[in-house]
């Protein structure tokens, strides 16, 4: 293997810091067998670092690259609020091969100057970034240069190609994590779920309307980080954060996952892959989602709804009460699960690095 004498330096958030931190755990494990050494350089999540912290990370990463015993590949996980990898990748010395996965394309980082201070100053942060967004995008193009940028959806790769014409945009897939086999979806209780980290645009604010539009004999269960802080709604069970066996039990208790994502930012459309959808795929669970961004790219296993939460409710009610339709989607989900394991998906990265 051409990479067997290389060191991979993988720059990513700490494990458990959002979906990107969890993704980085699986990614590092999948590529480790192909390198002489994989060094994981982990950092805090968005809004935790001062200017001094960012400078310290730049120095530490440069030292790690320059003192490598052999050739080096440096791969960054870029996400919307992570300033550390963005600035650490700029003018990286030592002549390594530098690539990045962009998790919230087309932005490498949506707020490049959002340090710990600005994270606590919402008006000032947007006042600095929104009016100057064309200048910030010019800086992003400079940082991207002629590097290879991976997106985890086709729409995301297209947006990167448009935003960074000097770079090479490559479409890959968000791989499906390993999870246990569950009872078939059509044999589970008549319930649907919402799942994930609570923040603007994820659709949690629409739970009450969804409950009003669904028949009462279809239960709604909600799980994920921050969901315990959601206001209570009659007929909706709030589970809170789930891990391990509790996560298994949550998905075993629903027939479909509802993903009512909408536009999250005034800065323009974004095309992220959904780790929530891949979690559903891992648990052989069909999805009902709004036709927004990269979610419209469904390769099967999903009902993509063109409309709003009312149309979602109609689609959910029809699916959950139709065992034949559920069974068909469940088999499509199982095919995606088999085709998108970490071991298979990392071939996209290995082929680029090998060249």
177 pLDDT above the threshold of 90: no
Q: Provide the pLDDT for residue 295.
A: 65
225 pLDDT above the threshold of 90: no
The CA distance from 38 to 18, in Å, is 22
Q: Provide the pLDDT for residue 296.
A: 66
Q: Provide the pLDDT for residue 75.
A: 98
293 pLDDT above the threshold of 70: no
303 within 8 A of 311, measured Cβ to Cβ: no
294 pLDDT above the threshold of 80: no
Q: Provide the pLDDT for residue 262.
A: 66
97 pLDDT above the threshold of 90: yes
Name which residue leads in pLDDT, 245 or 295: 245
Q: Which of 173-182, 293-302, 303-312 has the lowest mean pLDDT?
A: 293-302
Q: Provide the pLDDT for residue 301.
A: 85
Q: Please, which residues have CB within 8 angstroms of residue 187's CB and are 6 or more apart in sequence? A: none
Q: Provide the pLDDT for residue 96.
A: 92
- The percent of residues above 70 in pLDDT, for the chain, comes to 96
292 within 8 A of 263, measured Cβ to Cβ: yes
pLDDT in tens, 139-169: 999 999 999 999 998 989 999 999 999 999 9
Binned at pLDDT 50, 70 and 90, residue 21 comes out as: confident
Name which residue leads in pLDDT, 26 or 19: 26
Cα angle, residue 248 at apex, residues 304 and 259 outer, rounded to 5°: 20
- The mean per-residue pLDDT over the stretch 97-116 comes to 93
pLDDT in tens, 38-47: 999 999 988 8
- The mean per-residue pLDDT over the stretch 80-98 comes to 89
C-alpha dihedral sign at 76, 293, 222, 230 = positive
Tokens of 315: 């689609």
Q: Provide the pLDDT for residue 164.
A: 96
- The mean per-residue pLDDT over the stretch 243-268 comes to 86
pLDDT in tens, 302-350: 898 888 899 999 999 999 999 999 999 999 999 999 999 888 899 999 9
Domains along the sequence of the chain with CATH: 7-174+341-354 (3.40.50), 185-339 (3.40.50.2000)
269 pLDDT above the threshold of 80: no
Q: Provide the pLDDT for residue 297.
A: 66
Q: Print the SS3 string covering 88-150.
A: HHCCCCCCCEEEEEECCCCCCCCCCCCCHHHHCCHHHHHHHHCCCHHHHHHHHHHHHCCCEEE
Q: Provide the pLDDT for residue 266.
A: 73
Tokens of 92: 């990286």
252 within 8 A of 226, measured Cβ to Cβ: no
Q: Provide the pLDDT for residue 263.
A: 61
Q: Provide the pLDDT for residue 316.
A: 95
Name which residue leads in pLDDT, 71 or 301: 71
Q: Provide the pLDDT for residue 270.
A: 76
Q: Provide the pLDDT for residue 43.
A: 94
Cα angle, residue 169 at apex, residues 166 and 170 outer, rounded to 5°: 155
Mean pLDDT of the chain: 90
- The mean per-residue pLDDT over the stretch 90-111 comes to 91
Q: Provide the pLDDT for residue 94.
A: 75
- CA 161 to chain CA centroid, Å, is 19
């Amino acid at each position: 293997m051409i990479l067997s004498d290389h060191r991979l330096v993988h720059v990513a958030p700490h494990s458990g810091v959002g979906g990107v931190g969890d993704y980085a755990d699986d990614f590092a494990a999948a590529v480790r067998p192909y390198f002489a050494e994989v060094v994981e350089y982990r950092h805090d999540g968005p809004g935790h670092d001062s200017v001094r912290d960012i400078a310290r990370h730049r120095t530490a990463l440069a030292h790690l690259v320059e003192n490598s015993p052999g050739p080096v590949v440096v791969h960054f996980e870029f996400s919307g609020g992570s300033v550390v990898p963005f600035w650490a990748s700029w003018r990286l010395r030592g002549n390594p091969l530098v690539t990045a996965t962009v998790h919230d394309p087309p932005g490498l980082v949506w707020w490049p100057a959002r340090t710990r201070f600005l994270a606590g100053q919402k008006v000032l942060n947007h006042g600095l970034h929104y009016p100057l967004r064309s200048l910030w995008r010019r800086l992003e193009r400079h940082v991207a240069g002629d590097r290879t940028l991976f997106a985890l959806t086709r729409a995301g790769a297209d947006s990167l190609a448009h935003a960074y014409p000097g770079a090479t945009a490559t479409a890959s897939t968000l791989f499906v994590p390993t999870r246990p086999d569950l009872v078939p979806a059509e044999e589970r209780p008549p319930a649907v779920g919402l799942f994930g980290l609570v923040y603007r645009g994820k659709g949690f604010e629409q739970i009450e309307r969804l409950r009003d539009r669904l028949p009462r004999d279809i239960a709604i269960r909600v799980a994920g980080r921050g969901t315990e802080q959601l206001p209570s709604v009659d007929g909706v069970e709030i589970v809170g954060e789930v891990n391990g066996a509790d996560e298994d039990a949550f998905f075993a208790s629903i027939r479909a996952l509802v993903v009512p994502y909408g536009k999250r930012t005034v800065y323009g459309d974004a095309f992220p892959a959904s780790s929530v959808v891949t979690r559903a795929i891992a648990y052989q669970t069909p999805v009902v989602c709004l036709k927004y961004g990269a979610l419209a790219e469904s390769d099967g296993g999903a009902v993509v709804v063109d409309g709003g939460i009312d149309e979602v409710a109609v689609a959910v009610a029809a699916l959950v009460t139709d065992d034949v339709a559920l069974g068909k989607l469940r088999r499509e989900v199982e095919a995606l699960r088999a085709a998108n394991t970490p071991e298979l998906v990392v071939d996209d990265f290995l082929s680029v690095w090998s060249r």
